[in-house]
Amino acid sequence: MYPIVFLDAIHFKVRQENRIVNKAAYSVLGITMSGHKDILGIWIGEHESASFWLNVCTDLKSRGVEDILIACKDGLSGFSEAINAAFPRTQIQLCVIHQIRNSMKYVPFEEEKAVLADLKKVYQALTLEEAESTFAAFKDKWGKEIPIIRSWENNWLELTAYFSYPPEIRKMIYTTNIIEGYHRQLRKVTKTKTAFPSDVALRKIIYLATVEASKKWTMPIRNWKECISQLAIHFGDRLQGELSA
C-alpha cells in the first residue's frame, strides 16, 4: 500500500544506433505508510503512451504494489488511462504548477503578472466551489486574449482533485515538488555527461545516484502524522487494515 505516489520525467541524451536521441527516465516515487520516500522504479523510453504506462503499472502490481490512494503526475500522456486500468480506485492529481508553467508559454510577457495573479486565486481557493466560480471569472476576463482556457477545462477534474482533502494533504499533492527534488539530486550526478552510451549506462548511473540520495531519506516527510490520519478518515477501510498491522 502506498498512500501517495508521484510521477515525473527527467530527460537525457543517449546514443542509439550511431545517433544521439533524447530519452526520458520516468520515475515513480512512493510515500510509504510511515511517511518515507521510496523509489518504486525508473523506466527509460522515448515515447510515453497508454500502453507504455500500462506496462509500468503492471510491473508495479507484479512486484507487490496492491493499492495506491493518490497518484500525482505531470501531464504524462496516457497515464490516466493506464492507472485507471491497473488501479481503478486510485485518484489522480495533475500537478497544478506544471499546468501553470505550460499555460504561461502562451501568455504575452506584459500580461504575465496579471494572469498569474488571477490563476493564483483559482488554485488557492478554499473550496472547489470557490475555485469554479473564480475560474469562471478568469475565463470571462482572459478567454478571448490567451488560448489556455480549453486545457484547464479539459483537465479540470484532475487539476482540482486536491480540493477533496484538508490543507496538509493539499499542500503535498497539488504539485510534484517532492519528485522534482529527487530529480535535482540526479542532475548533480549526471550534469557532466553530455550523452550516455546506452540505456543500460543511463540506468546504472541513475540507480547509483538513487542509492546515494536515499541514504538521506531517514525522516518521514513533514506533517506526515496529520496527513495519514486524515487519509485514514477519507479512505476508510482501504487504510484501516494497514494502520492496524
Say how far apart CA 152 and CA 158 lie, in whole Å: 10
Contact 177, 99 (CB under 8 A): no
- Give the residue with greater pLDDT, 160 vs 45: 160
Instruction: Report the amino acid identity of residue 73.
Output: K
* pLDDT confidence of residue 215: 93
Encode pLDDT of 79-113 as tens digits.
888 888 999 999 999 999 999 999 999 999 999 99
List the Cα angle 216/241/165 in 5-degree steps: 70
Q: Point out which residues pair with 100 in neighbouring strands.
A: none
Pairing of strands 37-45, 91-94: unpaired
DSSP codes of every residue in 107-120:
S-GGGHHHHHHHHH
Residue 56 grid coordinates = 509500468
Residue 64 grid coordinates = 507487490
Encode pLDDT of 199-241 as tens digits.
999 999 999 999 999 999 999 998 999 999 999 998 988 886 6
Instruction: Please tell me the pTM assigned to this model.
Output: 0.91
Encode pLDDT of 101-150 as tens digits.
999 999 999 999 999 999 999 999 999 999 999 999 999 999 888 899 99
Say how far apart CA 170 and CA 68 lie, in whole Å: 17
Exposure string (b/e) for 168-184, b if CB count within 10 Å is 16 or more? bbbebbbbbebbbebbe
* Burial class (CB within 10 angstroms; exposed 0-12, middle 13-18, buried 19+) of 59: middle
Encode pLDDT of 169-185 as tens digits.
999 999 999 999 999 99
**E strand or H helix at 7:** strand 2-16
